[in-house]
Structure 1
Amino acid sequence: MKLLPFFTLIVSASTAALQQQQQEPHEERNETEVVRRAVDKPYVFATFTSEHEQKSNEETWLHIYTSDDGKQFAEYAMNAYKPAQGLLRDPSIIKDGDTYYVVHTTNWSGDDLAVIKSKDLKNWVQVSNVKTGVKDTEKVWAPEWFRDPTDNKIYVYVSIKTKQENFAPYIYTTNGDLGSFGTGEKLDVYNYGNGVGQPHIDMFVVYKGDDKDTPYHAFMKNEKEKHIEHLTSKTAKGTWNYVQTNNALGFGKREGPTVTVLPDGKWIMWMDNYHGNYLYSTSDDLSHWSDSVDMPSHNKVFRHGTVIRQ
């Protein structure tokens, strides 16, 4: 992994948080990082499109959109990348130094995920295909980057289904670069409530430093009930505890949550309404959310992706 230049401890922590869009509201921006952006727009959205689920010809292209305010997105690089084989679904984007990396789902079934990179958001090259290393892996869905602002480590959370067990989230630590991962670790979030197992996918993690006891927040889709649920933890690896389950967030059936901070300091969550449209909701505390509404632009072509505030 390419680490950011170490100017001071404070600048390093601030840069890490800004790049992974999980900084505290009103955090100072590092002007060095602003100069190294590929675009002036502060928000970058990596996504794909699909009108008909499981038609692979509709799930192979990476699209990049940008925004000034985090809500109105404009096209920047359409059809920016297509893998040589397999699919490109659920792209998660992160900026490391002057390079952008996307990790994505490669197929409906299989035992790997893929990493690509670009300096200009338009020209992408493959970095690696990474095997899960988990015995009897059948499906690998929705990998998501997370940079921990406390130590600058970069992780990938991913949903894995094996022959013996339904979907459960795993965490991988990057090894020296963003194309090589250590051994996957299964997270302790599979069972909740009365102990009845529920499969979960689409784990997205943010850091909220003013929550002193449990600053790590995760949002995952309950694959059985189709609701986005809320968990918290003391560390990036857990143990994770459910704080809002079933439809406690009030969104109804949604998937693919991605969360960042708006210019006014509020949190915003985008979510995929399966094949119909893309929606967003805002919050002051990550627990109480506004009613979800359609994105004001392009909402009918977006699918599960990730937004960063750079």
Structure 2
Amino acid sequence: MYVYESTDATAYTLLKGPAYVPPAGLIRDPSLIRHADGHYWIVYTTNWTGNTIGFARSKDRKNWRFVADHTLPVTGLARTWAPEWFVDEDGGTHVIVSLDTTNTSTFRPHLLSATDGTLRRWTIPEPVAGLDRSNYIDTFVVRHGGKYHAVTKQETTKYLEHAVADHLEGPYVFAGTGDWAGWGSWREGPALAPLEGGGWRIYFDGYTDKTYYYSDSYDGLRTWTPPRQLPGLTGFVRHFTVLREQI
């Protein structure tokens, strides 16, 4: 895992790399938060197959310590990919993870929640209502305008789609499908970060053309600017997340 930082959400410079290598398995799809304990935490994909997600934490984003691999108690679980943090307004800490329980590379988002502040004990993963009807992966959720907004990759069509719900667990109703935002197909790994003035920036991986893109919205995630290439990182990085912090 490599760690970058930016003062303008566009030009990123390397802070440290490699910054973390797990004791076993892989480190893919890292998702980042700063927890109430003062540490930065990542949750990540641990392998191509299996039933675990990995956790590590750091005080400075440079030096990381492995915490644990957490086994998900889900029957028939073949692949456990792309876990993403979501911290709600009440401080509740959750992970949305893509699970393949059919061994056919068909994924459905599941939600698990931390049962205490140690982030070591979790609820049993449950399918996210409205996103469990088809083959969705890389689901990233933000809270905006009193609603929960999920941007998720339709794994069959390779488009990033947008769904909205009143509750984190759903049911989600799709507000944008296909090429609704003009980002094109063969996109994955969406990550959203708030901008000054109430806008949002989405980053996503154009993995077939080896280009990383970003796009902005200032009308509540309804319309987006044409995608632009993210300078400096194209061709190297894959499926990252961005944490905005006030200095």
Higher helix share: 1
**Higher relative contact order by CA 8 Å / sep ≥ 6: 1 or 2?**
1
CA distance in 1, matches of 2:96, 2:213: 23
Q: Corresponding residue for 2:221?
A: 286
Partner-residue secondary structure (3-state), 1:143:
strand
Partner-residue secondary structure (3-state), 2:98:
strand
Residue deviations 1:180-235 (CA, integer Å, cap 9, x gap) = 211111111246xxxxx530000000011xx34xx110000000000000000101
Q: Corresponding residue for 1:131?
A: 71
The question of whether the paired residues in 2 share the 8 Å contact of 1:142 and 1:202 is answered with yes
Residue of 129, 153, 171 corresponding to 1:221: 153
**Mapping for residues 78-97 of structure 1, pairs under 5 Å:** 78-97=17-36
The question of whether the paired residues in 1 share the 8 Å contact of 2:79 and 2:103 is answered with no
Partner-residue secondary structure (3-state), 1:137:
coil
Out of 164-173 and 178-187, give the one that drifted further.
Answer: 164-173
Partner amino acid, structure 2, of 1:184: P
Q: Which runs of 5+ in 2 are unaligned?
A: none
CA distance in 2, matches of 1:129, 1:81: 15
Offset of residue 264 of structure 1: 4.0
Residue deviations 1:76-117 (CA, integer Å, cap 9, x gap) = 011011012111110000001320000000111111110100
CA distance in 2, matches of 1:114, 1:298: 25
Q: Corresponding residue for 2:166?
A: 234
Q: Corresponding residue for 2:54?
A: 114
- Percent sequence identity is 34
After the TM superposition, list the runs of 4 or more consecutive aligned residues in structure 1 that deviate by more than 3 angstroms: none
Q: Corresponding residue for 1:201?
A: 137
- TM score, norm. by length of structure 2: 0.93
Partner-residue secondary structure (3-state), 2:18:
strand
The question of whether the paired residues in 2 share the 8 Å contact of 1:101 and 1:178 is answered with no
Residue deviations 1:30-62 (CA, integer Å, cap 9, x gap) = xxxxxxxxxxxxxxxxxxxxxxxxxxxxxxxx1
CA distance in 2, matches of 1:206, 1:120: 25
Residue of 161, 173, 178 corresponding to 1:246: 178
Q: Corresponding residue for 1:175?
A: 115
Partner amino acid, structure 2, of 1:207: R
Partner-residue secondary structure (3-state), 1:122:
coil
CA distance in 2, matches of 1:230, 1:190: 10
1:309 and 2:244 are equivalent in the alignment: yes
The question of whether the paired residues in 1 share the 8 Å contact of 2:151 and 2:162 is answered with yes
Cα distance change, pair 277–182 in 1 and its aligned pair in 2 (3 A)? same
Q: Corresponding residue for 1:55?
A: none
The question of whether the paired residues in 1 share the 8 Å contact of 2:51 and 2:79 is answered with yes
Partner-residue secondary structure (3-state), 2:149:
strand
1:186 and 2:127 are equivalent in the alignment: yes
The question of whether the paired residues in 1 share the 8 Å contact of 2:153 and 2:189 is answered with yes
Partner-residue secondary structure (3-state), 2:19:
strand
Offset of residue 302 of structure 1: 1.5
CA distance in 1, matches of 2:59, 2:15: 14
Partner amino acid, structure 2, of 1:163: T
Q: Corresponding residue for 1:295?
A: 230
CA distance in 1, matches of 2:4, 2:56: 17
Offset of residue 174 of structure 1: 0.8
- TM score, norm. by length of structure 1: 0.74
Partner amino acid, structure 2, of 1:220: T
Q: CA RMSD in A?
A: 1.4
Q: Which has the larger radius of gyration?
A: 1
Q: Corresponding residue for 1:68?
A: 7
Offset of residue 131 of structure 1: 1.1
